[in-house]
Structures are given as structure tokens and as C-alpha cells.
Structure 1
């Protein structure tokens, strides 16, 4: 993407859901709030999340995934052919029980998930480049009770074709950076080749910058699996994506040697703040982590981000972590370019005046 500084900063996708919003979303799923009211809540929260990111100095912002109750349901509930017997929830973050009884119908050229409309709303609220993320077909298929396909791979690929239609619609509305999230892949490392095949169906013919995010799970701020990123290779070398977005701050940076050893020659989104703790990293610690990454990845191929989404930390912690990340990246950028740090961004916790667009 043009116009970005060296070592651009971004987020992985999700942003904290305030307690008041959790209560309101749960009220909706208990039938006590209208859909129109819920949409108003979503839009207000998205505007606030964008403002937080702008004040922190983030170069590439996101909508915080704040319309989504979790990483799966928003997509599965809109996919033609997916059945959800019970749509009520005791808590908004719970997963639906979903099933497929017959092969999914092929895409018809429309985009029933409505992701392009979500992007357009976000684009109207900010002048900064936007990363728009969505859960990938492998992870979506893992939560579907399959009664239609003899081989689950066929379900994964059918979902991928629908996501490809959504990606075309997103690009047509102006999206330039799309990210596929595969949070379940680390739990099924022997299926990396299937996941990569599906990723290539999603990206087929969509001329944007593509990211692929793979972490070890972030449900309630806890990892679902442990391991090393060597399971991605060599399969991921065939993925038609422009960057890998990976978790390092929590796990350590030994896995960067795996990425380098296997000859990954595209961008790496390197996690430099741990989203599974409320401890706030200092800018100096962030800078040291970036310097370590630069020993294996050249600066022009390095993107700076948290390990994963920020949903499970508080708003104050998220703002502080993002501010530290931006400051640490600025330190290293200044060392590389010889230019002094720009004027600091406003304190993200300072009182705010005026209205967010």
C-alpha cells in the first residue's frame, strides 16, 4: 500500500468490547432489543474504536470487528445453506450450534454476508488506510456439524468460494488490504495444505494486498493450542498472500528463524505486544523486539502489530499498548532513517472534545 512509513503499524482486527456493549448485545440475543438499536450501538462503538486507533497513531486501522459477536457466527449465520436451529444466546459471545445437511449452493454473484457494506461504513469514518479482516474457510468449517460432505475438505472449499465472492465485493467498494484469519489452524497442523488451498480460492482474482493471520487461539485471552509455526511450512509458501501476520510477543521470537529458514520472501506482520495479558509493554521493549525481528526480516518487509486481536483486554489497556507500539516503532524507524521522531500523538487517555465523524 502506497504512502505508508517504514515499519507501518496496524492492528490484527478486533478491539475491546465495553461492558455496557456486552450487556446490550446479550439483551439483543435474549429478544429484548431491536436489530435497528443494535446497529446504532455497533456504529457508535466502531467510531470510538477508530478514534482510539487514530489518537494512538496507528497507520492502518480496523473497525475493531465490533459488529461480530465472535470470530465465527457473524459469517456462518449469513452463509446460504448453513442451518442454526437456535438463534437465542445466553451470552452474546457464545458460539451458535451450526450444521449443514446438504451441499452449500454455489455463489450467485451477490455477497450475502454484507461485508462490503461494513467496510464502506468504516471508510466513511476515517481517512487512514483500513485493514478489513474476516475469518477464513478452514476455521469456519471446523465449527459446522457436517452432514453433507463425505470429505470435510469439500465443505472448506465451498465456504471459500463464498468468501471469494465477498472479497470481490469488498474490492469493488474500495478495500485495499484484506486479511484472512485462521485461528483454528494451529489446532489441526496436519491440515495446513487444505487451509492453504482454501486461502487461494478466497484470494483468486481479487487484486488487493492480502494478509494471512495465524495465531494459537485467543478465546477469553487464553491460547487454545501451543506449538511452533514450522507446521505452516512448506505449505504456506504456496499461499497467494502478500504477508503473514503472526504471534510472537507471547511466545518469543524463535519462530522467526523458522519463517526465514523456509525462504518466506514476503511481508511479515510481527506481533510485538502480548494481547493475553493486561501488562503494558514499554516503548523500549517494543523497540527491542522490532530490532530483533530486523535481524531476520528486512525493514521494508516488516509490519508492526499486536500478537492478535485486542478484544479481551480493557479499552484503557488497548490504548496504552497501541501507544507503546507506535512509540517503539517510531524509535526504530528514526534509527533506520536518521530522522528525528515526529511530534508525539495526543495521549489516547486524555479527555476528548468534539464529535467523531
Structure 2
């Protein structure tokens, strides 16, 4: 019998000590670097232990040291300064009273999003090497054999850190791909799997490209995949995961581009593992896209559907998790399905809709549900 493995998208709730250090760095306040490093090491160890206790088999560092999954690059690469324009997703603009409520309740995280104002080059891999060392140390300490580390895709960087330097959008994407290439290769060389976070392939449709038709947006998305695949040219495909999402926020999501339209783009990415949303009410039905396009799923792709939601504090019943997984097992077989989450539980430091203890309860339900699949 094939066991359904368990994982998640990457980010997990951070402790208040971690958040305080991250925002001290974000604000440019003075802080003790050794104390910062010790705090991150201890927090990653605790995060890995909690994942193991919940039944997660392919673990991450929870993105502990990062301010967010995309804008962390401003701290590790040159060329970023000032602030990028904020643009609320189109679905929230359709419901202005809800958007106002989110803002008033602190439901929209605030953090620096500088513009690209100069050449993007690496400041060195020192911070990344610390993250890798912390995760590998924690895995060894707690007896976990398989882990992954997140990295921003060129496309998602271009979404949040917009271009005010390169002559064209494609030139900016190419520069980002060249700059990020070493980060991707460093992660895989360490023995970890690499996860590329690519909400630009869906979220950006209703956040940055509202003026385009869906077909015009698909051309943009194709250029993002081209840049990403270029950066991954020297990375083995079997070590790569890709995550697509429509925005990790509780909202109407009535402007989300359908998975049916993104399917071909997603399948062209150089990645063995494909992570996507299937739990939230706007995308729960889209498992049928994979059923109907079964013949178009490459034989080496492994599907990692989100079988627990990351925007509500409902804890899914394991039987429901098993039902969701069985749909995909019936499409590609148990050896090509891994149980995942819709998105991250700690996308932004200090911000998350799900209570930290409930986040791990959800991961426990994920593992219990995966064990029910036969």
C-alpha cells in the first residue's frame, strides 16, 4: 500500500520574539545580531518539532527569518529602495465596505515594498546559508529526513517590488531570473528541495493586470514561466516544487482567474511537484480540471493539492481531508499525490488569520486524513 506523504506550502506562525526581531530589522532599529541569529535557530528547531508532532513528513523552516515570502529579497539583493504603489485586489475593490473593515481591523499587513531602482545583484548567500543551516540542524535534531525551502520566483518579485529601473518588464524579469539563479541552486545543493512561490501566476491577474483580458494575461504568465525556467536550467526537476495561489486572504475572490485557464501554464513549469488550492470555497471544485485534463498532466508530475484551508479557523475533519485526496489519487495514483495546504499559515511576519495552535491542529488533521486514504 502506498502511503500518502504530507507537507504544506511553507510559512508557519512565528513567535513574538521572532516577529520583534524581524520588525526591528525592517525598521532599521539597532539589534543584537547574535541574539537575532540564536532566536532564529531556536525558533526553527521548535517549528520543525511541531511539524513532526503534527505528522508532517516533508517539513520547512516555516520561513521563520523572512518578513514575507516575496519582499525578503530586498534584504538580500541590491537595487531596491523607496516604496512601490499599493494596489488592492480587484475583488476587494468590488466590496469597499469589506475592504474598509479589513483595513480598520489591521487585516491588511503593512511592510516595506520598495521599488527596483537599480541593478539587481546578490549581496551574497550569507542569510540563505543561515536559513539552510538552521533547517538542516533542526531536521537532524528531530529525526526528519526530508525538507524544503521556499524562494521567491522572478514573477512574484516583479509583482510586489515593481520596476523603476529596467527598460521593460521582460528585462526586469530576466535580471531577476539571473539574480535568483544562485539562490535556487544553493538550496538544492544543500540537499533540500526547492519551492518556488508563484502567486504571480494567479493573484497578479486581479491585482496588477486588471486592464488585460484573460488571454493577454496568459501571455504575461507565460513570460513569467519562461524567466523561472531559465533560472532553473541547472536545477534537477525532481528537486523542484511550484506553488500557485490566488491570494492567501479571506475575501470574495470573485475575480480569480480559473484554474482551467492556468492549467497549461502551470504544467509548463520546470517542477516535479505542483502545489495548488482545492480547499477554499472558490477553488474547491477545481479538482475536476485535473480529472478532465488527466491526459495533459505529464507522467512525472506529482500533485500536491491543498486539503486544508489557511484563512479560517475551522479544523477540517480527517474524513473530509481523505475525500479531497482520494479525488486526486483516482486521477494520477497514490504514488503521485502528496497532501498539502492551500497556502501558508504565516505568509507575513506577525500576521495570520489562523491561530497558531489551530494551524498545527489543521496540519494534524491533514496527516490523519492522509492516513485514511487507501
TM-score, shorter chain, exceeding 0.5: yes
Q: Does 1:296 align with 2:331?
A: yes
Quickly say closer, same or farther: Cα 1:75–1:185, change in 2 above 3 A.
same
The Cα offsets for residues 238-290 of structure 1, whole Å up to 9 and x where unpaired, read as 22111210011113443223234441221111110011100101111111211
CA contact (8 A) 2:173 2:227 kept: yes
Quickly say closer, same or farther: Cα 1:145–1:237, change in 2 above 3 A.
closer
Map 1:311-330 onto structure 2 (within 5 A).
311=346, 312=352, 313-330=354-371
Q: 1:212 maps to what in 2?
A: 242
More helix by share: 2
**How far apart in 1 are the matches of 2:79 and 2:341?**
35
Q: 1:18 maps to what in 2?
A: 15
The Cα offsets for residues 100-131 of structure 1, whole Å up to 9 and x where unpaired, read as 334435x7xx8446324311221111132001
Q: Does 1:133 align with 2:133?
A: no
**How far apart in 2 are the matches of 1:305 and 1:83?**
35
Query: 58-67 or 42-51, which moves further after superposition?
Result: 42-51
**How far apart in 2 are the matches of 1:116 and 1:103?**
23
Q: 1:120 maps to what in 2?
A: 133
TM-score by length of 2: 0.78
Q: Does the residue aligned with 1:212 lie in a helix, a strand or coil?
A: strand
The Cα offsets for residues 107-162 of structure 1, whole Å up to 9 and x where unpaired, read as 7xx84463243112211111320011112110101222422222212111211122
- Select 1:81's aligned residue among 52, 55, 79: 79
> Displacement, 1:80?
2.6
The Cα offsets for residues 190-212 of structure 1, whole Å up to 9 and x where unpaired, read as 32101210220221111252111
Q: Does 1:258 align with 2:289?
A: yes
Q: 2:105 maps to what in 1?
A: none
Q: Does 1:150 align with 2:150?
A: no
CA contact (8 A) 1:280 1:317 kept: yes
Q: Does 1:172 align with 2:170?
A: no
Q: 2:322 maps to what in 1?
A: 287
> Displacement, 1:181?
0.4
Runs of 4 or more, structure 1, over 4 Å off, are 221-225
Quickly say closer, same or farther: Cα 1:277–1:304, change in 2 above 3 A.
same
Query: 205-214 or 76-85, which moves further after superposition?
Result: 76-85
> Displacement, 1:324?
0.8
Q: 2:54 maps to what in 1?
A: 56
> Displacement, 1:37?
2.5
Q: 1:203 maps to what in 2?
A: 232
**How far apart in 1 are the matches of 2:267 and 2:21?**
43
CA contact (8 A) 2:66 2:72 kept: yes
**How far apart in 2 are the matches of 1:282 and 1:85?**
43
Quickly say closer, same or farther: Cα 1:319–1:147, change in 2 above 3 A.
closer
Question: What are the ranges of 5 or more consecutive residues in structure 2 without an aligned counterpart?
Answer: 85-108, 206-216, 347-351
Q: Does the residue aligned with 2:331 lie in a helix, a strand or coil?
A: coil
Q: Does 1:244 align with 2:244?
A: no
**How far apart in 2 are the matches of 1:163 and 1:211?**
16
CA contact (8 A) 1:97 1:144 kept: yes
Query: 230-239 or 179-188, which moves further after superposition?
Result: 230-239
> Displacement, 1:22?
3.1
Q: Which has the higher contact order (CA 8 A, sep 6+)?
A: 2
The Cα offsets for residues 25-63 of structure 1, whole Å up to 9 and x where unpaired, read as 334544253333222222222111111001112110110
**How far apart in 1 are the matches of 2:46 and 2:18?**
12
Number of residue pairs aligned between Structure 1 and Structure 2: 322
**How far apart in 1 are the matches of 2:120 and 2:198?**
21
Question: What are the ranges of 5 or more consecutive residues in structure 1 without an aligned counterpart?
Answer: 87-92, 336-357
Q: 1:232 maps to what in 2?
A: 262
**How far apart in 2 are the matches of 1:209 and 1:223?**
35
CA contact (8 A) 1:141 1:156 kept: yes
